[in-house]
Amino acid sequence: MSPQYYLGALLLMCGALAYLQEGPSSLSVYALRLGPGEEIVTSLFKFVEEKKLKAPFVITCVGSVTKATLRLANSDALNTNEIIYLNERLEVVSLVGTLNEHAHLHISLADKDGKTIGGHALGDLEVFTTAEIVIGEASTLQFTREMDNHTGFPELVIRPRSEDAIST
C-alpha cells in the first residue's frame, strides 16, 4: 500500500485518540446543597442545564438519602434489568462520574450497619437531610455521548471546545 495510505491511517488514529483524551483545561467549580426530599440525579441534570455546563463532573458529594435505584454490575446493553430498589436511610460515601447529557454516575451508599452497596445511579436518590455537592466544569473541554458499537452504549467523547463555544 502507498505511503499516503499509511499517513491517512495514522492521521485517522490520531483523530480517534483526540476524542478519547483532552487537556490541560482550566477548571471552574460550582457548589450546591440539596435539602430534604430533593432527588440528586434530577437536580444535577437541571443544574447542569441551567448553567449550560459543557464538561461537568462530580468532584465531591456528601449527604444522606432515603431511597435509591441502582443498576448493578452484570447489566449491559442487552441485559438492562439488573436493578435494585433500596428504601432505607443510607449515607452517600462516594459519588463519581460525568454530568453531561445521559450523565454517568456511580454511587456507594452505607446502611444502618455501615455495610456499603454500590452501582450505577439510575435515580430515586431522595435526600434525607442534606446533599452537599461540588461540581467541576473543564472550561475548555466539551463532553458529548456517541454510540459505541463495541459496548452498545452512548459513551463519553471528549473534545476541545471550538472558539465559538468558548466565547458563549
Residue 9 or 132 having the CB closest to a second copy:
132
Residue 41 or 92 having the CB closest to a second copy:
92
Q: What is the DSSP string of 32-72?
A: EEE-TT-BHHHHHHHHHHHTT-SSEEEEEEEEEES-EEEE-
- The residue among 31, 54, 138, 133 whose CA lies nearest residue 101 is 54
User: For the purposes of burial, counting CB atoms within 10 Å of the CB of 52, is it exposed (0-12), middle (13-18) or buried (19 or more)?
Assistant: exposed
Task: In angstroms, give the least distance from the CB of 137 to a second copy.
Answer: 7
Task: In angstroms, give the least distance from the CB of 36 to a second copy.
Answer: 5
Q: Which three cell numbers stand for residue 81?
A: 434489568
Task: In angstroms, give the least distance from the CB of 141 to a second copy.
Answer: 6
User: Scanning the structure block, which residue is given the C-alpha cell 442545564?
Assistant: 49
Residue 4 or 21 having the CB closest to a second copy:
21
Task: In angstroms, give the least distance from the CB of 60 to a second copy.
Answer: 5
Residue 1 or 29 having the CB closest to a second copy:
29
